[in-house]
Structure 1
Amino acid sequence: MATIKDVSKLAGVSVATVSRYLNKNGYVSKEAAEAIAGVIDKLNYRPNTIARSLAGKKTATIGLLVPDILNPFFPELARAAEDAANEYGYTVMLGNTDNDTAKEQRYLDTLIHKQADGVIISSYTIQPDHLRGLQKAGIPVVLLDNVFSSDSVVSFTVENKEGGELAVRHLLERGCRKIAHICGPLSITSSRERTAGYEAVSTGTDWFTPGLIAYSDFTVKGGHSAMQQLLVSHPDLDGVFASNDLMAAGALKALQEAGRRVPEDVKVIGFDGIQLEMMSPGLSTVAQPIYELGKTAVDVLIGLITEHPDIPEDKVFPVSLTVRQSTGG
């Protein structure tokens, strides 16, 4: 098995230069980098991450915790994170928590035990005190879709309330005159904010009533059930805004089963912007910049790991309207 000394000897550079190249830490000339890369490829050299971690260096691994891997939003997020991590020479360890705090804590304990260099957490159930073990171990954290009142944790969210307002205004512009809303779990901040956006536009209109809001669980089945309930209590509704795309897909199925044409009789819009190419009609949605979220999370986490001085503060990403057939696009 080739060693770092073998690489330095054949490349004609010092061991320290090879180390800087491998760790992307410090200056390496273009000529030296090309020579090192060529030798690494020739020798099929792989750094001994276990030995490096025992020596107090980095393990080149980061953790990514997500609440539901069956929701297409999170595989897209994971793909972006993995692509970005690979560019830095890092490996991503993925954990699916199932919105289970005990399972989430086991993953966090494992990441500490495995000496992960950093962790990205997209969780509906994480609380500040859950991060104490990571902080004690000196493992930096980036939060997605959640915000803690702590300067030690960088958080990235999107314009959830503005997105809810955008969805309802779009339905009104398309001619809807009685718009229902399928809300996600009230325990989730982003869900509450999207509902607040719906209420901000709807409250005060001649058609709005709190009974137009149905509550679900961010799943296709939940959206289907909520839509069935809304059709019973408000058979004259002509627009639906669901707080995520999976619930919108369930709503579409319930409308089709009830003989309602989409978009002719009822127009439907979701939230997230996940890939649902096989759905018919195509789903209009308020799209989050999923890939950008995952990539930026890794960029910032690597900056925290390497103690880069220019680490950004919490950031709110914009959302955008994607119009498809479900609202007459």
Structure 2
Amino acid sequence: MATIKDVANEAEVSVATVSRVLNNVGYVNEETRKRVEKAISKLNYKPNAVARSLFKKQSKTIALIVPDIKNPFFPEIARAIEDVMSREEYTLILCNSDEKVEKEKKYLEVMKQKYVDGVIIVTSTLTPKYIEENGTPIVALDRPIGNDIPSISVNNYEGARQAVQYLKSIGCNKIAHIRGPENIINADERFNGYMAEVGQEPWFNEDYIVTGNFNVVETTEVTKKLLDKHPDIDGIFAGNDYMAVGVIKAAVELGLRVPADLSVIGFDGIQLCQLTSPEITTIAQPIYEMGHKAAELLLELIEGRPVDKMHQEFAVKLIERQSTRIME
């Protein structure tokens, strides 16, 4: 593999001259520049990305930090981000934080040391002050962090209300909620939306709320216990689609028919909802558009361009499928 010194020898110039040509800094006369470019082509020289990032304090790399890569929502949104960044010749690094603040802080510190140009992060643990002091351009995705940190999200509260209103409209009389982890902003907002619709209902029972922690295996188990204890439940709003899959698995294991005995609605709109049997009714986020916008927003920050809108909230959409009954 050719080195920068090999290029310099081939072009009969100094290593410093080759470096100026590669980085397009300083003066190099046209004839010398052409000799260097010809030598680079002849030797098929590839500049060392690490060395260039140290020199420029830039790396043409961004990071995406997500809480759980097993949740299909995050790979789908990562695809959109990668599409945008790839066109701009950026490389995407994917990091899994497990909702642990120590891992998130470690990732951010490592990214700073490696001159990663910017970060898109899904977090409920980091404070605005910590992020601002880090100094790396950051966009919050799915979960807003603070007024001064640009963010992309949806109206989780209204989406949850729409989900419960829909279950009521198709005749569900006892509606339970499988919520995400407490103190996770989108899980709390969806829980609050559910409560706004059922909190004053005469049939409402706080036992109708259980935590699935956005985990399909855990959701399956807590749902079986819930339905064993309250067999009168005929509708379930799961806090995300991944948990809705667990709800359906639990129903099948208990011998319940979905949707004849139990209607199920999720939240997110991941493609997996179209592959289950039955296919899952959901409150869909515009996942690709959100990832696309987050990437564009991060590029604006990296390039120092003014940000017109610091916080963008997308609308959600009800998509009816087979997991909810059809009113006759």
Which of 282, 287, 300 is the matching residue for 1:285?
282
Q: CA deviation at 1:309?
A: 2.2
Distance 2:299 2:195 in 1: 39
- 1:110 aligned partner: 110
Alignment of 1:318 with 2:299, yes or no, is no
Query: What are the within-5 Å matches in structure 2 for residues 154-193 of structure 1?
Result: 154-193=150-189
Confirm or deny that 1:128 pairs with 2:128. yes
Partner of 1:195: 191
**Which 5+ residue runs of structure 1 have no aligned equivalent?**
5-15, 21-39
**Equivalent residue for 2:77?**
77
Aligned to 2:50: 50
Q: Which residue pairs with 1:34 in the alignment?
A: none
Q: Which runs of 4+ in 1 moved over 4 A?
A: 1-4, 40-48
**Deviation (angstroms), 1:114:** 0.8
Asked if 1 retains the 8 angstrom alpha-carbon contact of 2:159 and 2:316, the reply is yes
Aligned residue for 2:56, secondary structure, equals: coil
Match for residue 68 of structure 1? 68
The alpha-carbon deviation at position 69 of structure 1 amounts to: 0.6
2:262 match: 266
Q: 1:315 to 1:215 in 2, by over 3 A?
A: same
Unmatched 5+ stretches in structure 2 = 8-19, 25-39
CA distance in 1, matches of 2:309, 2:41: 35
AA at the equivalent of 1:161 = Y
Report deviation, 1:129: 4.2
Q: Which amino acid aligns with 1:100?
A: K
Report the RMSD for the aligned CA atoms in angstroms: 2.8
- 2:276 paired with 1:296: no
Q: 1:42 to 1:176 in 2, by over 3 A?
A: farther
Secondary structure of residue in 1 paired with 2:195:
helix
2:264 & 2:121 partners in 1: Cα distance?
31
TM superposition shift of 1:208: 1.8
Question: 2:280 is aligned with what amino acid?
Answer: L
Counterpart for residue 119 of structure 1? 119
Asked whether the 8 Å contact 1:101–1:125 carries over to 2, the reply is: yes
How many Å separate the matches in 2 of 1:60 and 1:165?
Answer: 42
The offset of 1:46, in angstroms, is 5.6
Normalised to the residue count of structure 2, the TM-score between the two structures is: 0.83
Checking the alignment, whether the CA contact within 8 Å between 2:297 and 2:307 is kept in structure 1 is no
Specify the SS of the correspondent of 2:323.
Answer: helix
Alpha-carbon distance between aligned partners in 1 of 2:291 and 2:217, rounded to the nearest angstrom: 27
Paired with 1:232 and 1:41, the residues of 2 have a C-alpha distance of 71
Distance 1:230 1:54 in 2: 56
Native 8 Å contact 2:264 2:281 kept in 1: yes
- 1:292 partner letter: E
Q: Which residue of 1 aligns with 2:137?
A: 140
2:292 maps to amino acid: K
In the alignment, structure 1 residue 246 sits paired with structure 2 residue 242: yes
